[in-house]
Structure 1
Amino acid sequence: MTFDLAIESATRTLPRTWRLEPFRRHATLVADMRSDRPLPLLSLASTGVVAPRTEDGGLGKQAPSEATIERYWVTQPGNLVVNPMWLIGGGVGVSAVNGAVSPDYRVYDLGPELYAPYVHHLLRSAPYRDQYRLYTRADTTFDRRVSKENFHPMPLIIPPLGVQRRIADFLDVETARIDHLRSKFTRQRTLLNERERTALPLTVAGARLGDGNTATGLAWLPAMHPSAQLVPLLRLLQLQRGADLSEDQRREGNVPVITTAGHAGWHEVALVKGPGVVIGRYGSVGNVHWVENSYWPHNTTLYVKNFNGNGPRYCYHVLRSLPYEMEQARAAVPGVNRNDLHRQKIALLPRDLQTRVVTQLDTDAAVAESTRQRIKRAEALLEERRQALITAAVTGQFDVSTASGRNVTDGVQS
C-alpha cells in the first residue's frame, strides 16, 4: 500500500480538535443497482458536478446498452460519487440530485460525522489530488485507476461537525465568486473566437482594405474588394491528398510529420518543400496548419500541391476562411472532398493586395493570441487561488469564521 505522504505533509499542524481517520470508517459503498427503475442517468464532470448526462454522455461515445444501464448505481443527494479512473483529474464530488451513475463509478453513503458539502471540497483539494496521483501506477487509462485498497483506508481530515459546516459554507461562497469570474473569461474567449470567425472571410475578400465597399454588417460577397475576382478555389491553389506513413516506416530526422491534428512526430525525408499549408481531411476537419519548412503530410490530410503563383500565406488564410461544416454536411462520408473544395467559390485578390491582407490577418492573429494568453494567465491565477483557499480551509490553516466578507478574487481583472 502506498503511504499517504501528500495528505500527511498537509496535516502536520491540524487544530487540536480535528481528527485524521480512515475514509472507510465514515463511508459505506452503495450497491443498489438501477435495474428497471426509471431513474435519470447522471454523469460526473471533472468540476465535481453530478448532473443528468447528455444523450451520448457528453463524451462523443455510443449510448450504453439497456443491460449496462440496469447495472448503473443508484445515487441520491448527499452521496459521494467517485470516478476511480479520473480521480487525478477531479472525478469526485457529492451529488445534489437523484439518478444513477455508471457501473464504473463508485457511490458512497457518508456517515453522520461528515457534512457532505465539506467532504466535496476536501476530496477535491490539492493534497488529496496529489495523493490520488501517488496511488496510481501511470497516467494511462487503466494505470491511473485508484483502487479501493488505497482509497478506503485513505485518511480523512475531520473537524467538528459545526466547523465542517462553516468551512463548506465559506468555500461555497468563495468558489462561486471565482467561478463567476471564470465564466466572464470564458465569455471573453468565446467573443474573441466569434469575432475572428466573422472577420476572416471579410478580410480575405479584401473588404477591410479601405478601397471598396464597407464591410460592416455585410457578407463577404457584396463587400469584397472591387479588384477581387469570384473564382473557384482551384484558381487559387491545388490540393493533394497526403501520403501514408506508419510508425514503423518513420526514421529519425528533422522533417515534421503533419496530421489532421498538426505536428505529430518526425521523419528523415520530406515529401513536400516548404513553406506549405495542410488541412484536416478526416477527424478534426477544417484544421488548417501553416508549415514553415519542408514536411511530410499524412494521408489524413490535404496539402497545397500548387499555389498557382499566389502567396502561400494568403492561401493559408483563405483556407482558414472556408465553411468546412457545410462541406462536411454535404459529404456522404464524414470528411471533406478535395474536388468539392476546389469548386468552392472564393474572392481572389491580386498579388499586391494579398500581401496587405496577410499583414492584416497576421496582425489580428497576434493581437488575438496575446489576448488569449492574458485570459489563460488570469484563469490559471484564479485556479491557483481556488486551490490555495480550499487547502487552507480544509487543513485548518486559517479560521473561516474570521474570514467573513473577505473577497479572495481581489486583484484579478475580468
Structure 2
Amino acid sequence: MKLTLSQAAEVRLGRQRSPRFESGDHMVPYLRSANVLNGELDLTDVKSMNFAPNEQEIFRLAEGDVLVTEGSGSRETVGMSAVWQGDLPGTVCFQNTLIRLRPRAGVTDGRYLAWWARHAHASGEIAAVASGANILHIGSDGLKRLLINVPSLDEQRRIADFLDHHVARIDQIIAARREQLASIEEQFASVRRVAVLGENGPTRPTDLPWAPRIADSWSVRRLSHLAAMGTGHTPSRNEPSFWVNCDIPWLTTSDVHRFRRDEIDVVTQTTLSISELGLANSAAVIHPVRTVALSRTASAGFAILMGCDMATSQDFVTWTCGPDLIPEYLLHSLRVMRPYLLGYLATGSTHKTIYFPDLMDLRVPLPPLDDQRTAVEQVRRAGLICGEATAALSGQIGLLSEYKESLITAAVTGDLDVTTAGSGIPR
C-alpha cells in the first residue's frame, strides 16, 4: 500500500533558534543538522536553548523518532537521517534545521520508517523536493507529499530485522576494509620516512625537531641555501581585463584536495588559470617545471611538484632546487615533515597559516645525490604498491556501499522478499 509520508508519520519542523532563547528558566539540550550524519548521530557537540514547558511537549524527542536534515548546500547531503534512541538523558528537543518523522501508531514501524528515510535520501527522492539557490531547503510540506510503501506492520518489522542484520554485516566489512586502508597508508608513511632520513643504516642524532636521527654520513642544511624560495599572487579581481584569455596554470588552494593524502606527486593541470596581462600587473611569477610548492594557508602543509611551468597564488611557498638538491627528495622530505609544519609552525585557530620567516628557517637533511636518488626510488616503489592496494580496497568499499544502498531500496520498496532473500554479502 502506498501512502503519503504525512499519512504514515507525523512530520514536524523543529523550533526556530533565536537570541531570546539563549537563556531562560527552561534550558534543555537540542539537536540540529550538525548532529545528524547519514544513519547515525554525532552527539559530541550538543547545544542548549530555552524551551517553555508547552514547547517541550511539542518538540521533545521520543525514542524511535527519525530526524532528517532540512537544509544543506549540497543535494548529496540534504535529507540525511538518523534515529533518536534516547541517547541522552532527560528531555531533548530539536531545532528547525531538522524535521522529525514520528511513526503513526498502528500504521508504521519506527525502524522501518528509518530505513525508508535512508532510502529516500540515497535515491534522491528527498533532494528532488528541495529548493533554493545556495542552500537547499526541504520544508516539511514537500516532505509530507512523498510516497512511502507501507506493507503490514508484521512485514515492516521483518524488513527492519532483515536490514538491521545485513546492513550491519556490510558496515562491518566496510569498516574492516577502511582499517586495512589506514594500515597500508601507515606502512607507506613509515617506508617513506626511513628512506628520506636514511634510517635503514647507521644513524646519528640531529637537532631537527622532526628528524631526531638521520644517516650518519648525511649533513643538515638550511633549505633556503639549497633552493630559491618564492611565492605567488592573485591579480586584482576588480580589473575584468586581467581575467580574459587565462591560459597560464595557476596553483591555488582549489587544487590542494588532489594531493591532501599524497595521492599524486606531480601536478600538470590546475583548477584555475591566469592571463599574461594579470601576471604582468601583479606580483605573480611563473615558476619553472619541477619547482616544489607547499600550501601555507587554509589547507596548510601539503606539498606538490610542478609538472610544468606555472604560477601560484600567495597561499603557496615555492622552492626551485639548486644543483645539490633533487626536487623529488625535497617533496618527500616536506611530506615527512608535515606533522611538524602543522603542529609547531602553523598558527591560527580557524585557518592555519605557516609564515615565511619560519619557512626561511627550515633545515633539511642533505644526502649525497646518489643517496637522494636511492631514497626517491624507494619511495616510488613503495608508492606503487600502496597505490595498487589502496585502489583495490577503495573499489571494494565503493561496491559494498552501492550494494548496501540497493539492498535498502529493494527491501523498503517491496522489490525484495526478505523472507527468502540470501545475503549475497562477501565473507
TM-score range, shorter chain: 0.7 to 0.9
Q: CA deviation at 1:380?
A: 0.7
Q: Secondary structure at the residue paired with 1:123? A: helix
Aligned equivalents of 1:22, 1:367: Cα separation in 2: 52
1:116 is matched by which residue type in structure 2? Answer: G
**Which residue in the other structure is 2:233 paired with?**
243
Q: Tell me, yes or no, if structure 1 residue 259 matches structure 2 residue 252.
A: yes
Q: Tell me, yes or no, if structure 1 residue 47 matches structure 2 residue 38.
A: yes
**Which residue in the other structure is 1:283 paired with?**
298
1:124 is matched by which residue type in structure 2? Answer: R
**Which residue in the other structure is 2:113 paired with?**
119
**Which residue in the other structure is 1:189 paired with?**
181
Q: Tell me, yes or no, if structure 1 residue 394 matches structure 2 residue 412.
A: yes
- Residues 11-410 of structure 1 aligned to structure 2 (within 5 Å): 19-30=1-12, 36-39=26-29, 41=31, 43-54=34-45, 73-86=59-72, 88-89=76-77, 91-97=80-86, 99-112=92-105, 113-125=107-119, 129-137=123-131, 141-142=134-135, 144-208=136-200, 212-213=202-203, 221=211, 223-245=213-235, 248=240, 249-262=242-255, 263-269=270-276, 271-307=286-322, 309-322=324-337, 323-328=340-345, 334-403=352-421, 406-410=422-426
Aligned equivalents of 1:266, 1:329: Cα separation in 2: 27
Q: Give the 3 Å change call, closer, same or farther, for CA 127–191 of structure 1 in structure 2.
A: closer
1:337 is matched by which residue type in structure 2? Answer: Y
Q: Secondary structure at the residue paired with 2:229? A: strand
1:171-211 CA-partner distances (Å, limit 9, x unpaired): 00000001111111221222233333333333212234x5x
When structure 1 is superposed on structure 2, of 80-89 and 273-282 the one drifting more is 80-89
Q: CA deviation at 1:344?
A: 3.0
1:351-394 CA-partner distances (Å, limit 9, x unpaired): 12211111111222222222221121001110111011111111
Q: Secondary structure at the residue paired with 2:353? A: coil
- Checking the alignment, whether the CA contact within 8 Å between 1:185 and 1:379 is kept in structure 2 is yes
Aligned equivalents of 1:281, 1:65: Cα separation in 2: 37
2:293 is matched by which residue type in structure 1? Answer: V
- Checking the alignment, whether the CA contact within 8 Å between 1:205 and 1:228 is kept in structure 2 is no
Aligned equivalents of 1:384, 1:31: Cα separation in 2: 30
Aligned equivalents of 1:93, 1:110: Cα separation in 2: 14
Q: Give the 3 Å change call, closer, same or farther, for CA 51–226 of structure 1 in structure 2.
A: closer
TM-score relative to the length of structure 2: 0.78
Q: Give the 3 Å change call, closer, same or farther, for CA 275–345 of structure 1 in structure 2.
A: closer
Q: CA deviation at 1:74?
A: 3.3
Q: Give the 3 Å change call, closer, same or farther, for CA 68–325 of structure 1 in structure 2.
A: farther
2:400 is matched by which residue type in structure 1? Answer: L
- Checking the alignment, whether the CA contact within 8 Å between 2:27 and 2:50 is kept in structure 1 is no
- Checking the alignment, whether the CA contact within 8 Å between 1:44 and 1:91 is kept in structure 2 is no
Q: Give the 3 Å change call, closer, same or farther, for CA 69–370 of structure 1 in structure 2.
A: farther
2:45 is matched by which residue type in structure 1? Answer: T
Q: Give the 3 Å change call, closer, same or farther, for CA 274–400 of structure 1 in structure 2.
A: same
Q: Secondary structure at the residue paired with 2:3? A: strand
1:62-120 CA-partner distances (Å, limit 9, x unpaired): xx785799999532211121112247425123221253333311123220111111111
Q: Give the 3 Å change call, closer, same or farther, for CA 196–261 of structure 1 in structure 2.
A: farther
Q: Secondary structure at the residue paired with 1:402? A: coil
Structure 1 residue runs of 5 or longer lacking an equivalent are 1-18, 56-63
When structure 1 is superposed on structure 2, of 194-203 and 277-286 the one drifting more is 194-203
1:189 is matched by which residue type in structure 2? Answer: L
Aligned equivalents of 1:128, 1:191: Cα separation in 2: 30
Percentage of matched positions with identical amino acids: 20
When structure 1 is superposed on structure 2, of 145-154 and 369-378 the one drifting more is 145-154
Aligned equivalents of 2:14, 2:119: Cα separation in 1: 28
When structure 1 is superposed on structure 2, of 295-304 and 33-42 the one drifting more is 33-42
Q: Secondary structure at the residue paired with 2:409? A: helix
- Checking the alignment, whether the CA contact within 8 Å between 2:27 and 2:49 is kept in structure 1 is no
2:116 is matched by which residue type in structure 1? Answer: L
Q: Give the 3 Å change call, closer, same or farther, for CA 74–305 of structure 1 in structure 2.
A: farther
Aligned equivalents of 2:52, 2:406: Cα separation in 1: 39
- Checking the alignment, whether the CA contact within 8 Å between 2:36 and 2:68 is kept in structure 1 is no
Aligned equivalents of 1:350, 1:66: Cα separation in 2: 64
- Checking the alignment, whether the CA contact within 8 Å between 1:260 and 1:285 is kept in structure 2 is no
1:177 is matched by which residue type in structure 2? Answer: R
Q: Give the 3 Å change call, closer, same or farther, for CA 291–39 of structure 1 in structure 2.
A: same
1:38-62 CA-partner distances (Å, limit 9, x unpaired): 336465433221341437xxxxxxx
Aligned equivalents of 2:156, 2:41: Cα separation in 1: 21
TM-score relative to the length of structure 1: 0.80
Aligned equivalents of 1:65, 1:392: Cα separation in 2: 39
Aligned equivalents of 1:82, 1:198: Cα separation in 2: 42
Aligned equivalents of 1:373, 1:297: Cα separation in 2: 30
